[in-house]
Amino acid sequence: MFEVIFLGTSASAPSVHRGLSANVVLYREHRFLIDCGEGTQRQILQSGLGFKRLNKILLTHGHLDHILGLGGLASTFSRWEAVDNMEIYGGAATLERVRDLIFRVVLRGGDTPSFKVKFVPIKPGIIFEDDTFFIEAFPVTHRGPDCYGYLFQEKSRRPFLNDKAQALGVPIGPERRRLVNGHSVTLADGRVIAPDDVLGPAVEGSKLVFVGDAARTDNLLQYAQNADGLVIEATYIEADADMARRFGHLTAAGSARLAQEANVGQLYLTHLSRRYRDADVISEAQAIFPNAMVVRDFDKVTIVKKDK
């Protein structure tokens, strides 16, 4: 399962109650910061997360309300925090803007940071993977080039059947670990136990899809399909659909229709404009997709595999 902590949920400019775009996805020992708007480092501290191991940053695009906080974060890392490195993933145009922000503004082009900054240009496809999950970047249409969304997919696993293992006499310890990892083991009495003897059918892992700013949804359907959780913007409501199209954003209804068509489990709406009440946004979305909610700063949600 994945956990998402919403650090900033406002669109374009902060409000009294909402900071600019920033979110953290937690999975086992991994922590990913998605976007880093102005004021993000204070939100990180106020959330209780702290900076430890928060060194992988995924950027959806290069607009300032999604990246300006990286300047302050880099400054803090270089002076105060015991952070060895910072990995920043994004499209080429986005990374170029971030590189200017960090090295031509914050570090003034001459200072050498005390930590390593690694820029990781991405293309559509898998950008991070280990034995248990992967992250896939996919293209998103917004104003400007190199806009991306991120798909977090937990890999399928076969549950270990303790009752069967006990009946077969498999001792607790390294033998069971080898079986879980797909290797046969030989017991003390010479019997060979295969993984199929003690593992159940494969269980699908949870799926989280994260979209930043977007102008359309038809090209997102294949990525959002059957997601357990979809995080996406709802900058406008249908009454202002013309404005949404002009500025390359979605309405709450548009995001809800995507969730409905893609058969997602839960819809999380973020990137809200100060011009609307939360109630206006959520009522529009829930009229189409009942499992929709408007998230606020510091909300925490858990993404688990939805029932078939």
Question: If you ran DSSP here, which 8-state letter would residue 240 be given?
Answer: G
Q: Are 297 and 222 in contact (CB under 8 A)?
A: no
Burial class for 296, CB neighbours closer than 10 Å (0-12, 13-18, 19+): middle
Question: If you ran DSSP here, which 8-state letter would residue 72 be given?
Answer: H
SS3 content of the chain, % helix, strand, coil (to 5): 30, 30, 40
Q: Are 207 and 228 in contact (CB under 8 A)?
A: yes
Give the C-alpha separation, 186 to 270, whole Å.
53
Give the C-alpha separation, 306 to 265, whole Å.
6
Question: If you ran DSSP here, which 8-state letter would residue 11 be given?
Answer: S
E strand residue ranges, 55-196:
56-58, 85-90, 116-121, 125-129, 133-139, 148-154, 185-186, 192-193
Give the C-alpha separation, 69 to 39, whole Å.
6
User: C-alpha angle with apex 134: 28 to 24, nearest 5 degrees?
Assistant: 50
The H or E element containing residue 90 is strand 85-90
Give the C-alpha separation, 211 to 233, whole Å.
7
Catalytic residue among 65, 146, 213, 228: 65
Active site residue 65: yes
Q: Could you tell me which of 205, 242, 196 has the C-alpha nearest to residue 227?
A: 205
Per the document, the length of the chain is 308
- Phi, psi (5° rounding) for residue 97? -70, -40
Active site residue ranges: 65
